[in-house]
Amino acid sequence: MNKINYFRLILLALAFISGAGYAEDRPVRELKAFLSGTRTLTADFKQVLINEAGNPVQTSFGVFYLQRPGKFRWDYKKPIQQQIISNAGKVWFYDPDLEQVTVKKLDESVGSTPALLLSGEVSLEDNFTMEKQGEDEGLLWVKLVPKHEESGFKYVLIGLSGGTLGGMELSDNFGQLTRIYFSNVVTNREVKPDLFQFNAPKGADVFSD
C-alpha cells in the first residue's frame, strides 16, 4: 500500500474525531463528552503499522494538532519526516524525501461520509455502528464500524484515558492494522493558525487533483 493510501486511513479516523457523538454506555458517554468539549488538541504520538501476520513493520513518532472543525496536522518526525495538513476543504500530503506534494479535496481523500463528519452534517448513527469495547491497556474503547463498503476501512477503535484521547486502532481492507498511542495530550489551548497553512517548498513537485 503506497504512502498516500496509508495516510488516507489516518484521515478517516480524524474525520471521526472531528465530528460526532453518541449517548449510552460509559465509553460512548465519555467519547461524546470529549468530542463536544474539545475545540483544539495537541499531542505527541507513536504510530505502529502491523502486517497481516500480526508483526510490527514500521514505528513512527511525531506530533498531532487538531482544531475543529476540519483542521488537523500530522507531523511525522521519526524515522522519516512527513506531513499531512487539512484546511479549507483540502488535504496536503508532503514527503520531504521525495520532494513531493500531493493536494486533494477532502472528500476525495477520506471518502464522502467521513469527510462530512468534520462539519457535523452527517449523523453518525446513519453511517456507522457504534460498539462499546470495554477497557484494555488502561483505556476505554469504542468501536466504529462503517455501514457502507466504500469506506476503505473495516473499523476504527477510539481509546479514551481520563476523558481524553489516548489511542486509536484502524483496520484497513488489506489486512493491516495501524495503532496510534497519544501522550502529552493538551486540549482547548490556543493553536497557532499558521500550523494549518501549507506552502509548497521551493523545488518540490506538486500534484493536484
Judge if the upstream peptide bond of residue 27 is cis by omega within 30 degrees of 0.
no
**Residue 108 pLDDT > 70:** no
Q: What's the pLDDT at 97?
A: 92
Ordered by where they begin, the domains of the chain are: 3-208 (2.50.20.10)
Q: For 3-44, what is each residue's pLDDT tens digit? A: 555 566 566 555 555 544 433 577 778 877 887 788 888 999
Q: What's the pLDDT at 15?
A: 55
Q: Which residues make Cβ contacts (< 8 Å) with residue 195, sequence separation at least 6?
A: 65, 73, 85
Q: What's the pLDDT at 129?
A: 79
**Residue 77 pLDDT > 80:** yes
pTM of the model: 0.80
**Residue 176 pLDDT > 80:** yes
Q: For 121-136, what is each residue's pLDDT tens digit? A: 445 666 677 788 888 8
Q: What angle do CA 15, 19, 3 make, to 5 degrees?
A: 10
Give the pLDDT band (50/70/90) at residue 112.
very low
The whole-number average pLDDT for the span 165-179 is: 85
Conformational region of residue 89, where left means phi above 0, alpha means psi within -120 to 50, and beta covers everything else: left
**Residue 114 pLDDT > 70:** no
Q: What's the pLDDT at 133?
A: 86
Read off the C-alpha cell for 169: 486502532
DSSP assignments along 137-161, one per residue: TTEEEEEEEESSGGGSEEEEEEEEE
C-alpha span between 45 and 49 (Å, rounded): 13
Total residues belonging to the chain? 209
What percent of the chain lies above the pLDDT cut of 70? 77
Q: What's the pLDDT at 105?
A: 81
Q: For 79-105, what is each residue's pLDDT tens digit? A: 999 998 888 888 899 999 999 999 988
Q: For 47-74, what is each residue's pLDDT tens digit? A: 999 988 888 999 999 999 988 877 888 9
Task: Tell me how far apart the 2 most distant CA atoms of the chain are, in Å.
Answer: 52
